[in-house]
Amino acid sequence: MKKLVSITAAITSMSLLLSIAPAAWAESSPTSVVQDVSNTLNLDQKVTKQLTDAITALTGKRTVQFTSADTAFDDWVVNSTLTGTAEADITQNYNSKKEKVTSTLINYKADDLNKVLDQALYNKIQVFLKSFDKDNKFKADAFWRVKQDVNDSGLKNYWVIWGHDQSLYVDVDHNNQLSASILYDLKDARATLTNKARNTLKILGITSIKAFDYSLLTQKNKDTLWVYQDDSSINSVHIGSNTGKVWKVINQFGTDWNNDADFKKSFAKPKLSKKKALSAAAPKVKSIFGLNLKGYSVRIQDNQYTFTKKGATTLIGKINKKGAFYSFEAIPVNGVRN
């Protein structure tokens, strides 16, 4: 993967996967095939059973062939293959000190998606993509079933469908909640939105600007956004995919403190009074978000200024040591940004 929002680069070894992402899930189609475990690695019988049980919990009964094991360190990496409804390669991590399986990754071929997934879940994904991917760019190259102890970005128990610069996650622990991202080269992104994103950075007013390298179409929770960003994640502008409204802008070039100690010292006392904060933010907020801050109250915490008004969109701004805002984020009353 070139880029992911909430996600990580595609990798092929579970030993590297521990830093990324089912219990209650739409089970794979049941099979009458009796489980057959072949262990030519002379793994301990207890370990073999633990590894096999972890696989069975995710796939049902299938034929498992253990192929390799790296036991040089406390965290073992064990590889195997799966046959049955669909063939797959499996990588598992086993903590020899704790005597437990800490992660299982099952790597399937994209063509087997409809064979492996429960029909209801498969249909749910197709409906989601029809709404989310209006350009029909999403093309699956592979898909994984993952369960792990490590929680990364809220995911421990999930499916992920990979494509070139795109991904779709199914959070099994949260009622198969879907999230997805598709990377667009700027030349393929919406020209009007690209111009709006660039203009938004100019209005923000931080002198140094890094050009955008790509746009990421994302959906997570109820938010569906175009995220314009550079490869170094210095500048970022979030625009609703349906409304075309700007919801967030940040330019990290605006941060000017040296370290945590400097930050605490610099913002131990409010850099701007509430009145000055309203005055400084109002014209930028009006131009970027179309919001009038008249009647808003202000809450200050360190360098963060939160502007609120009953029944109206909340605005969060952050300033640097000079008192200049380098980021704004709008949060609508209903919490939905699209």
Q: Which residue has the tokens 């403190």?
A: 257
Please report, for residues 240, 242, 263, 271, the alpha-carbon distance to residue 224 in angstroms, rounded to integers and kept in the order given: 6, 8, 33, 34
The pLDDT value recorded for residue 43 is 85
Whether 295 shows a pLDDT value over 90: the answer reads: yes
What pLDDT shows up at residue 317? Answer: 98
Of the pLDDT bands very low, low, confident and very high (cuts 50, 70, 90), residue 27 is very low
- Whether the pLDDT of residue 194 is over 80: the answer is yes
Comparing CA positions, the residue from 274, 10, 323, 324 lying closest to residue 164 is 10
Kindly report the CA angle at 322 between 321 and 327, in degrees rounded to 5? Answer: 75
Q: Which of 41-50, 69-78, 168-177, 183-192 has the lowest mean pLDDT?
A: 41-50
Q: What is the pLDDT of residue 122?
A: 96
User: DSSP letter at 328?
Assistant: E
Cα 319 to Cα 61, 71, 324, distances in angstroms: 57, 51, 5
Calpha distance 288→200 (Å, rounded):
6
Predicted pLDDT at 154 = 76
| pLDDT at residue 37, rounded to an integer | 58
Q: What is the mean pLDDT of the chain?
A: 88
What would the mean pLDDT of 153-175 be, rounded to a whole number?
A: 93
| pTM value > 0.85 | no
All structural domains of the chain with their residue ranges: 14-179, 189-331
| Partners of residue 181 on adjacent β-strands | 167, 218
Spatial CB neighbours of 288, under 8 Å, sequence gap ≥ 6? 200, 203, 204, 246, 249, 328
Q: Does residue 204 carry a pLDDT above 50?
A: yes
- Are the C-beta atoms of residues 79 and 90 closer than 8 Å to each other? yes
Query: By C-alpha distance, which of 268, 267, 325 is closest to 293?
Result: 325
| Interval 122-141: pLDDT, tens | 999 999 999 999 999 999 99
Write the DSSP string, 158-202.
EEEEEETTEEEEEEGGGTTEEEEEEEEEGGGS-HHHHHHHHHHHH
- Give the model's pLDDT for residue 25: 29
Mean pLDDT for 203-223 is: 95
Average pLDDT of the residues in 167-187:
96
